[in-house]
Amino acid sequence: MSRVGKKPIPLPRQVTVTLQPGAVTVQGPKGVLRCPVPPELEVAIQEEQLTVKPLVENNKVKAHFGLLRALLANMVQGVHEGFERILEIQGIGYKVELQGDQLVLNLGYSHPVHFRLPEGISAVVEKQNRILIRGIDRDLLGLTAARLRKFRPPEPYKGKGIRYAEETVRRKVGKTGSK
């Protein structure tokens, strides 16, 4: 049995959970999320808590048991509080602008990079080199942040590029001139 899967998920007052055959829908003040449930697992609501129980004991069910509990906990937190990720852009002349639902990134290429935000994700540009990305779906938020970072990953010599705010880039020493 999974240690993570055994823990119950507390439900805040504003969050409602609807159990359907093969799916769970979580609704809160920020939005609605839906997650499929494998037939080998059972989701129940007991005393303002959400619990996951395996119906069969095998390796596949053990693998999905903790995963489903973690996904449901992320859904509850997402519709109640939401998630956010901060990206920083470092480099001379590197900047970002928000135009509607599209980010325009100037990253030292010969052309600006246009990135359309997926539905359910919003962004706020602080200064010209800091992007605050918000959303209720943690998976989609992380995927969006990773796609943005992929346009210009931080390089180890000058530290230029797009990085997460909490990320530290290990710097390398450049070449030295020898005579």
Instruction: Output the DSSP codes for 1-56.
Output: --HHHHS-EEPPTT-EEEEETTEEEEE-SS-EEEEE--TTEEEEEETTEEEEEESS
**Among the listed residues 130, 139, 67, the one whose alpha carbon sits nearest the alpha carbon of residue 94:** 130
| Residues 119 and 154 both lie in one domain | yes
Percent of the chain with pLDDT over 90: 66
DSSP 62: H
pLDDT surpasses 90 at 174: no
| Residues 117 and 152 both lie in one domain | yes
| Residues 113 and 143 both lie in one domain | yes
Query: Is residue 146 packed enough to be buried (19+ CB in 10 Å), middle (13-18) or exposed (0-12)?
Result: exposed
CATH code, 24: 3.90.930.12
The last residue of one of the domains, among 51, 80, 109, is 80
pLDDT surpasses 80 at 177: no
Residue 104: give the domain boundaries.
83-164
| Residues 21 and 59 both lie in one domain | yes
- For the chain, the average pLDDT equals 91
Q: What local confidence, expressed as pLDDT, does residue 179 receive?
A: 61
pLDDT tens track for 119-154: 999 999 988 899 999 999 999 999 999 999 999 999
Q: What local confidence, expressed as pLDDT, does residue 173 receive?
A: 87
| Residues 61 and 94 both lie in one domain | no
Q: How many domains does the chain have?
A: 2
The last residue of one of the domains, among 42, 62, 80, is 80
The last residue of one of the domains, among 49, 65, 80, is 80
Element (H, E) at 43: strand 41-46
| Residues 39 and 103 both lie in one domain | no
- pTM, two decimal places: 0.86
| Residues 8 and 71 both lie in one domain | yes
pLDDT surpasses 70 at 79: yes
